[in-house]
Amino acid sequence: MAPNPLPEWQRAHGAPLFTAQIRRHPEDFQVTEILGWELSGDGEHDYLYIEKSGANSQWVAKQLAQFANVPLKDVGFAGLKDRHAVTRQWFSVPRWNTPDWSLLKVAGVRIDRCERHLRKLRRGAHRSNTFAIVLRCSEPLDRDAITHRIGRLSAQGVPNYYGEQRFGRNGGNLRLADDWANGQRLPREKRSMAISTRRSYHFNNLLSDRVAQSTWNTLMLGDKANLEGSGSVFDFSDIDSVLQARCEAMDIHPSATLIGDGSECEPVQWAAALARARVQPGNRSLRLKVQDLEVEMEEAEVGESTVTLNFSLTRGAYATAVLRELCLWS
């Protein structure tokens, strides 16, 4: 097996408290998508609320396109959901051929609701995701330490790292990204993945530096401020008491640049590659607010304990950013 090239990015809340197994069963990792807005009830798109297990979102979209006899590009979904989990999310499909969804039979896929809406569901159109995660441990649990750590995560948030899955198995997407930056031609979808991977890696490195400096949750001159729960950012020239209070209340967060055309970055070929591709720089919050965080601890079997976490995160955030501040896992 190739070594994992990813660094051990800094943790903000101390060393992991225990080691656990995740995803022993698909139902140990559950994700529910929250749109945060109302469907119109009419229009030319069927909106399907689907529970799936053992299938990723792209594969499900392909099955829906084939069943409805429409191009795959016209099937919409808001966020990519993992295959190794039980997930619930919306898909949109044009009604051109008025499919009878009661006849769809796909292993691991169940349509729970079917509604209508005026427009296709776009990526990132949802508000948040809720998580229910079971961590299975073979070692005794320090209940007091875990309870205290959970309180810190709720009150202070966590560093908003991109999850390891962003970088592929053993960081393989990073090697793909460097191949592209060095001139290798890639299909459009893989080129997009390569760019996203390198931008995410650069962001995680910046965030890790801020965590090491204990400034990941503090506004600094030169930052842009990110409004909680949105992609909106704004500049500021002075950090007054009002801004400081809003940051402490997690109404706003410090953010860092997602590199693009004109950004300074290493290695230098990446700056040139981003300029050639005309990738626009962006911003991402350094801090992630963990909402409605609850924990249950119990002895599940002889020699095994379980820690069950329930929480909500804004769209684009990774549950592993929360887990890594609590435990190690396999």
Q: Among all residues, which ones are annotated catalytic?
A: 82
> Are 36 and 128 spatial neighbours (Cβ–Cβ below 8 Å)?
yes
Closest by CA to 316, choosing from 291, 292, 293, 285, is 285
Q: Give the contacts of 69 (CB within 8 A, at least 6 positions apart).
A: 97, 99
CA of 41: how far to CAs of 119, 127, 149, 274, in Å? 11, 19, 44, 42
Concatenated DSSP letters for 259-287? --TT---SSHHHHHHHHHTTPPPEEEESE
- Polymer length of the chain: 330
> Are 118 and 40 spatial neighbours (Cβ–Cβ below 8 Å)?
yes
- Please, how many CA atoms are within 13 Å of residue 155, restricted to the half-sphere of its CB? 7
